[in-house]
Amino acid sequence: MQTFISSSDNTSRGWMLGDGHFTTMHQHLGRVRLWPLHKARLIKACRRLHMAEPDWSAVEAALARLPDEGDRVVRLTLLRGAGGRGYGIAGSTETVVALNCSSFPVHYFAWREQGIELGLCEGRLGSSPLLAGLKTSNRLEQVLLRAELEDRGLDEGVVLNDAGVIMEAVTANLFWRKDDAVFTPALATNGVHGTVRAWIINELGDRVQTVNAPLDALYDADEIWLTNALMGLVPVHAFAGRTLQQPFSMTRALQRKYEQID
């Protein structure tokens, strides 16, 4: 069945151009986890996209009013308001705030304990240095990559860029350990600077190297794990047919520390 909407409902820049950005957060026991890191990323995105920042006190008051319903997903979206013509942003001085809540993907709890098998995506991320690191409202590359995972029956997959460099997983950031060194993609030309990724980099300091690495680095890794604000830290027990040996010492140590923070 075809559904049509009125012209008055489809004139916003968010609808027409994907002109905005968002963050997805884990509400646990009435509190949004890692809120300072989410807020810091939203502020950076506003500045890079030349968007007005919202009234943060009003945003935080709205988050504080959310009912305590155990574990939930909270999405905070910031869209450029009315004004401008075509691609131009002149006159667009207001930022529209949208707050949405949904049920928590409970399979992530099992993933954290049991780990997952990680595949390798055939689709690749194009270079987009103007938007690198940002979680913009246009996520069509991720939609297509997720469709590939579903078609192939994979839980998650590593995504390379068009130069063959490791970038991230479809819905998560990626870390790996070789001996005592820890690595994560630099994400200078694409990808998302995730909040749990930022927390790990802050936690481990100089021990983490942000790199532009070829795929061979993962085949040679002693340990691989995924991160995002909902899954937390998930160990990888197999990658592209290669089994990684437990006990996933680095992942487990970071998991324990992560569970202790708000």
Active site residue 141: no
Q: Please report, for the chain, the start and end positions of each structural domain, with discontinuous segments joined by +.
A: 7-104, 109-258
6-44 confidence digits (pLDDT tens): 555 556 788 888 999 999 999 998 899 999 999 999 999
Look at residue 84 and tell me whether its pLDDT is greater than 70. no
Q: Which of 6-20, 98-112, 154-168, 192-206 has the lowest mean pLDDT?
A: 6-20
Look at residue 148 and tell me whether its pLDDT is greater than 80. yes
Active site residue 148: no
The angle at the Cα of 153, spanning 132 to 114, to the nearest 5 degrees, equals 80
Taking residue 183's Cβ as centre, other Cβ atoms within 10 Å add up to 20
Look at residue 241 and tell me whether its pLDDT is greater than 90. no
State what percent of residues in the chain have pLDDT above 90: 84
Question: What is the mean pLDDT of the segment spanning 193-201?
Answer: 98
Check 23, 39, 77, 135 and give the catalytic one: 135
At 107 the pLDDT is 96
Taking residue 11's Cβ as centre, other Cβ atoms within 10 Å add up to 10
At 59 the pLDDT is 97
**The dihedral of CA 211, 144, 120, 34: what is its sign?**
positive
Q: Which of 138-147, 196-205, 236-245 has the lowest mean pLDDT?
A: 236-245
- Both tokens assigned to 89: 């942003």
Check 23, 24, 171, 227 and give the catalytic one: 24
Query: With contact defined as beta carbons under 8 Å apart, do 91 and 50 qualify?
Result: no
Considering only CA atoms, which of 27, 37, 115, 102 is closest in space to residue 71?
A: 27
215-229 confidence digits (pLDDT tens): 999 999 999 999 999
Question: What is the mean pLDDT of the segment spanning 42-57?
Answer: 97
User: Which band of pLDDT confidence, cut at 50, 70 and 90, is reported for residue 90?
Assistant: confident
Classified by CATH at the fold level, domain 109-258 comes out as D-amino Acid Aminotransferase; Chain A, domain 2 (3.20.10)
At 229 the pLDDT is 98
Q: Does domain 7-104 have CATH number 3.40.50.150?
A: no
Question: What is the mean pLDDT of the segment spanning 106-130?
Answer: 96
Check 168, 171, 195, 223 and give the catalytic one: 168
At 81 the pLDDT is 85
> pTM of the entire structure?
0.94
Active site residue 168: yes
